[in-house]
Amino acid sequence: MSLLRSKAINKKQILFITIAWSDMSDLLKRSTMRIDINSNLDIPNCNQMINDLKKCHEENKFMKFFGVCNTFSLAVAKCLQEEHIARSAANRAKSRQRQEDLKRKASQAF
């Protein structure tokens, strides 16, 4: 408790920092394997964010290594993750429909 008082940080701030760091590190862990980022992808929602990230990297050739463009990078990672989840859900729905069709055809054959 004395450490909290000496640093003038309260428990709410520590909790917020902990949650924010865990969310960011979790997102970074999931976004380490990423497709080649270019604006020609068929992901219309993310193209503007990708262009902003590239622009930030071009404008900050050295400072990008110190986290200047991290907000753009996290936004792109989150957008790509959301697109991946949406594609996965659509593919699962297609797969279920295909399996139901195959079961129906198999039951009609016998």
Average pLDDT, integer, range 38-67: 83
Q: Does residue 3 sit within a domain?
A: no
Range of the domain at 92: 36-108
Judge whether 60 lies within some domain.
Answer: yes
For 110, which DSSP code?
A: -
- Asked whether residue 6 is assigned to any structural domain, the reply reads no
Q: Is the pLDDT of residue 41 over 80?
A: no
- Per-residue confidence band for 40, with pLDDT thresholds at 50, 70 and 90: low
pLDDT at 96: 96
Residue 22 lies in a domain: no
pLDDT in tens, 65-82: 888 999 999 999 899 888
| Token pair 């659509």 in the structure block, residue | 90
Count of domains for the chain: 1
SS3 64: helix
Q: With respect to residue 31, please indicate whether it lies within any of the assigned structural domains.
A: no
CA-based torsion, 86, 87, 93, 96: positive or negative: negative
Q: Does residue 25 or residue 101 have the better pLDDT?
A: 101
* pTM score above 0.75: no
Cα–Cα dist 33/59, whole Å: 25
